[in-house]
Amino acid sequence: MQLLRISDAVFRGLLNFRNGERTPNVAMSQKRRKSGMQISQGRNSRISQDQDDESEDRSFTQTSSSQVQRRMERLTVAQVDRKMAEVVQFILIKDQKKVPIKRAEIVKHVMKEYRDVYPEIMKRVTRTFEQVFGLKLVEIDTKNHVYILINKLEPIFGDQVGMGPGNHRTGLLFVILSIIFMKGGVVKESVVWNTLKKLRVEPGEKHEDFGDVKKLVTEEFVRQKNLEYVRIPHTDPVEYEFRWGQRAETEVSKIRMLQFVSELHDQEPQSWTQQYKEATTVEGPSSQR
Amino acid sequence: MAIPMTESHRRFLQTMMNGGIMEFSKAKILHRNCCEDQSAHAQLDEFIDVINTQLQPMFMQIRKGMSEDDGLQYYALVNMAETDVTRMSSDYADNELELFRKTMDLIVDSENGTASSTDILNCADSLQTKKMKKKEVEHVLNRLVQDKWLNEKRGDYAMSTRCIIEMEQYIRNVYQDLVKSCYICHSLAFQSQSCENPGCGIKVHLPCVARYFKSHTDPQCPACKDYWPHEIPVFPAQSPSQSTSSKENTAPTPSASHSRRKRK
Ligand SMILES: [Zn+2]
Ligand SMILES: [Zn+2]
C-alpha cells in the first residue's frame, strides 16, 4: 500500500536492532513480528546478527566480478529492474528518517535470492539515485558497510516553498553548522547554547517548532550524522564539543555558508581569510557535479 | 523517447518527497523557483510528465487530484507498487488494517463521506482477525491520521486527499458500484451531496457544488434538472494567497488528536 510514509515505530524498531550496544528488546521484536513486520525475524539476539553479517561478508568476498557477470546474464532486464526498484524504495523508506542503512539489511530484506548479483544491482541503484532523485548513496562505514543518502543538489536557502516543520529544523542545523565553521571546526557546547539563547532558542525549554531543543541537537542531528557531539577528555565537570558530522561534510557547501554569513555581517567572504581558504579548497557538494 | 531530467526536475521531486503532497499554486511557485536559471521552461504538467517517465520503473508517480476539504488541486507523490518491500513498510497489524478497511466501508456507505468515531468503535467488536479495545481503536485511528490516511474533524473521520489520490484505483476495484464519481469533476466523491431524485442520484463534491451553484438562486441538479434540495456550501476564496492556510487545515493537526484524547 503505502511506501514513502512509514511510522516512527518502525524506525524505532529498526534502530533498536541496529545499535549493537543496546540490549535488544525481545518483547518488542515479538510484537513487531506479530504486527506483520518481517524485519525483525531472526533478529532477537545480537549474536545471530553478527553471524549473519559475517556469513554475508564471506559470500561477498568469495564472489568474483566475472561470476557476478555470469549470474547477471541469467536474469532478464525486467527482473533486474524490478529488484533495483525495490532496493531504491527500501533505501528511500529508511532515508525518510535519516537512518543509516546497512548492507546486511538490504541483502536480507530486499536482495534475498539476488544477493549474488548485489554489486551489479547496487551500481544501478546508485545511478538511479543520482539521475532521477539527485541523491548520492555514500558508504560512510566501509567496515560494517553502512550507507546514507546525501543530497547532491545545492540547497536553496530562504526558499519558502515546501516549508514544513522539517525546514525550521534545517534552519536551526544550518545556524549551528555555521557557528562551528566560523569558529574553526570545533566548538564547546556552551558556545552553541549561548548563541542559540541570543536567537531566543532556549536549550532547556520546549520550543514551539523544535520541541526539546537539546534532544534535537545532541541526539537527532547526531543520529542523522549532521553533527558530532563528543565529550572533551579530562573535563570535570564533563564538557562536550560539537563538530560537523559526516553528512554535513558531504552535503553542505561551505562557500555558500560563508556567503550567507558574510551577507548577514555585510562583509566580503574574503575577509574571513581562514574560512575562505577552507571553503574554496575543500571540495563541496557543488564541485561534485 | 524520454526527455532527460535536469537539476530542476530533481529539485522539484526532492521537495515533493519531503511533503508527499503539495497544493497546486505552491507547486507552481516551486516549479518557477526550480527553473530559475532557464529562460524558457515547460508548463508544469509537461515538467511533471518528464519526472513521471523516470519514476515509472520505481512504481512511483506524481498525481493530481482535488481535495474534498478545500476544493483546491493538489499534487501527490504516490506509490503504485505492491511488493514485499511495501508490505513490509506497513507496520499496521492485521486487525489494525481490518479496522482501516471497516472504516473505509463506513465512509463509502455514509451519506456525507465520513465515519463517526462511535461507529468505528462499534465495529471493533466484530473484527475477524482480533478484537480491539476502545483504547486501542483510538490509538490506531490516531496513527492513521498521523500517517495521513485519514482526516479527523470533531470525531468524524474522512479519507485524506492523499489517500484518495493514491488509492483511487484500489477503491474503485474493491467497492465497484458502491462508490460514485463526482458529476462535475469525475473524481471519486466521498464528502459530497447527492441528488434526491431516485432515478438520478448523482453525487457532487462539496467544493464542486459550491463552484457549480455559485450565484444560482434556484439550484437544479446538473443531470436531471430536479430541484437541488441541499444547502449550498461556501468555500473560502481560492486565491493562491489563501491556499497556504487552507492547505494546513487539511493536514492532521496536533489539536485534532488532542481533542480526541480529551474525549475518552
Ligand atoms: Zn467534484
Ligand atoms: Zn439529479
Name the residue ranges covered by the structural domains of chain B: 7-58, 85-165, 179-257
Output the average pLDDT for chain B.
Answer: 82
First to last CA, chain B: 58
Would the CB atoms of A85 and B57 count as touching at under 8 Å?
yes
Q: How confident is the model at residue A145 (pLDDT cuts 50, 70, 90)?
A: confident
pLDDT in the model for residue A90:
86
Q: How confident is the model at residue A61 (pLDDT cuts 50, 70, 90)?
A: low
Could you tell me which residues are beta bridge partners of residue B63? B76
What is the CATH T-level fold of the domain B85-165, as seen in this structure? Answer: Arc Repressor Mutant, subunit A (1.10.10)
Strand A146-151 relative to strand B188-189, pairing: unpaired
pLDDT in the model for residue A152:
74
A interface residues, B as partner, C-beta within 8 Å? 1-7, 9-10, 13, 32, 34-39, 81-82, 84-86, 88-90, 92-93, 109-110, 128, 131-135, 151-153, 156, 159-162, 164, 166
Which residues numbered 84-123 in B keep a CB inside 8 Å of some CB on A? 84-94, 96
Is the pLDDT higher at A21 or at A284?
A284
Which residues numbered 13-52 in B keep a CB inside 8 Å of some CB on A? 13-15, 17-20, 22, 26, 29-30, 33
- Lowest-pLDDT choice from A106-115, A221-230, A280-289, B62-71: A280-289
pLDDT in the model for residue A97:
63
A38 vs B contacts (CB less than 8 Å): 84, 88
Residue A7: closest C-alpha in chain B: B147
What does pTM read for this prediction?
0.64
- Lowest-pLDDT choice from A234-238, A278-282, B66-70: A278-282
pLDDT in the model for residue B181:
95
pLDDT in the model for residue B91:
63
pLDDT in the model for residue B41:
58
**Whose grid coordinates read 541496529?**
A18
Could you give the percent of chain A with pLDDT greater than 90?
18
pLDDT in the model for residue B241:
42
Would the CB atoms of B83 and A4 count as touching at under 8 Å?
no
Distance separating alpha carbons of residues B204 and B194, to the nearest angstrom: 6
In this predicted structure, the answer to whether residue B107 has a pLDDT above a threshold of 50 is: yes
Q: How confident is the model at residue B59 (pLDDT cuts 50, 70, 90)?
A: confident
Q: What is the DSSP letter of B80?
A: -
Is the pLDDT higher at B255 or at A236?
A236
In this predicted structure, the answer to whether residue A79 has a pLDDT above a threshold of 50 is: yes
Mean pLDDT over A134-162 rounds to: 71
The hierarchical CATH code for the domain B179-257 is 3.30.40.10
Chain A contact for B54, CB < 8 A?
yes
Tell how far the Cα of A20 is from the centroid of ligand 1, in angstroms: 53
Residue pair B41/B164 in contact by the 8 Å Cβ criterion:
no
Would the CB atoms of B58 and A132 count as touching at under 8 Å?
yes
Grid cell for residue A19 = 545499535
In this predicted structure, the answer to whether residue A135 has a pLDDT above a threshold of 60 is: yes
Q: What number of other Cβ atoms are within 10 A of residue A151's Cβ?
A: 18
Task: Starting at the earlier edge strand, list the strands of the sheet with A146-151.
Answer: A101-102, A146-151, A135-141
Closest partner residue to B91 (CB to CB) among A9, A133, A166 is A9
Mean pLDDT over A161-169 rounds to: 50
